[in-house]
Amino acid sequence: MSKSLKFTNTQRSTFFATVRERVDAYFQGQQISRHANAAMWFKTILFLSCFVALYALIISGQFGLWTMLVLAGLLGATCAFIGFNICHDALHGSFSANKRVNRAFSLLFNLIGANPYVWTITHNIVHHTYTNIPGHDEDIEVAPGLVRLSTDEPLRPWQRFQQFYAFPLYGLASLSWVLRKDYVKFFQPKIGEQVSNHPRREYFNLFFYKALYYLLFIVLPLVLLPITWWQFVLGFLFLHFVEGLVLGLVFQLAHVVEGTAFPLPDEQGEIQEAWAVHQLQTTANFSPRSKLASFLCGGLNRQIEHHLFPRICHIHYPALAVIVRDTAQEFGLPYLENPSFVGALQSHYRMLYKLGRA
């Protein structure tokens, strides 16, 4: 970790003040809340119902092995969608104006294998502040030494093949959260710029909810299901591979595609740009007009709007996108978009290919 970093608005840009004023005017004019509406509550009930139903079907043991494997994969995808659509908004405080509601839904993050407290630090604080800045944004540190996502990282011979092996590695993201990452981040001296000085209750929460997860997803299946240990391991790994691949791809397609920047601070530890402009330079949308992508990804296909307004529920991003895009164009600033998921995937592949070479 390098020295403390700050943004310096050398261009005296008024972009963020302008776009924020226009967004405020939108909500006032429409007389609607910035938080969840009926459509958002429908999504919440749907995804949680799918989670309960899939888990119950698996734990019932009434199906053959191949059916169980398919159900495990569907459960993994559902866990990712719960993370995108419910927990992510709750952890940003954007799901509800009521802090207790946000707190309750953020606890569901434990059921998909991740610790909400650690996520709040690594994602809400570090990633959203230091987006795509090597040495500061830990979200772009995917399998260090194996996957090179920045020209600031040393180039290793095997990384010329990373465009092939990176995608299977993304599938390990969820498993890493469950078994390793949360513990490592929690007990390291600093997370980004944040000194690790955790409240005592978070020590209890970390181990209690991890134990609860292990009980639900390891102990109970082994005790209740008529399967061998290796069949359980296969199903458990497949669940997390699907979950991790969905999680990994959505986040990578927002920040590691052609056009996104990976700026470095100067010798004084400053980024010579306004924070909001930096977000436009380092973030990209994908499939912005796809209702299916918006429904499943919890608005994370519109990462630009999310990074500028993380405390607004993602259900409002389609309307905000028009305001943000027009304002960015007015100020002569980039507004990066890949029209489709496949196009974003191809762009990410090309980035991996280029970064794997000198």
Q: Please give the helix or strand (H or E) that residue 6 lies within, else none.
A: strand 6-7
- Answer yes or no: is 238 within a domain: yes
As a whole-number percent, the residues of the chain with pLDDT over 70 amount to 98
As a whole-number percent, the residues of the chain with pLDDT over 90 amount to 79
List, for residues 118-170, the tens digit of each pLDDT value.
999 999 988 999 999 888 887 777 777 899 888 878 899 999 999 999 999 99
- Do residues 190 and 181 make contact, with C-beta atoms less than 8 angstroms apart? no
DSSP class of 313: -
* Non-local CB neighbours of 169 within 8 Å, separated by 6+ positions: 142, 143, 146, 147, 248
Average pLDDT for residues 294-303, to the nearest whole number? Answer: 94
Has residue 50 got a pLDDT over 50?
A: yes
- Answer yes or no: is 1 within a domain: no
**Which stretches of 228-274 are DSSP H helices?**
229-255
Has residue 301 got a pLDDT over 80?
A: yes
More confident residue, 325 or 6: 325
Q: What pLDDT band is residue 3 in, cutting at 50, 70 and 90? A: low
Q: How many CA atoms lie within 13 A of 335 on its CB side?
A: 18
What pLDDT score was predicted for residue 223?
A: 95
- Answer yes or no: is 129 within a domain: yes
Q: What pLDDT band is residue 216 in, cutting at 50, 70 and 90? A: very high
What pLDDT score was predicted for residue 267?
A: 83
Q: What pLDDT band is residue 88 in, cutting at 50, 70 and 90? A: very high
Domain extent at residue 233: 6-355
How many folded domains does the chain comprise?
A: 1
- Answer yes or no: is 339 within a domain: yes
More confident residue, 287 or 5: 287
* Non-local CB neighbours of 330 within 8 Å, separated by 6+ positions: none
List, for residues 227-283, the tens digit of each pLDDT value.
999 999 999 999 999 999 999 999 999 999 999 999 988 888 888 899 999 999 999
The three-class DSSP label of residue 7 is strand
Least trusted range by pLDDT, from 190-204, 313-327, 332-346: 190-204
Return d(Cα 80, Cα 26) in angstroms, integer.
31
Mean pLDDT of the chain: 93
pTM confidence score: 0.92
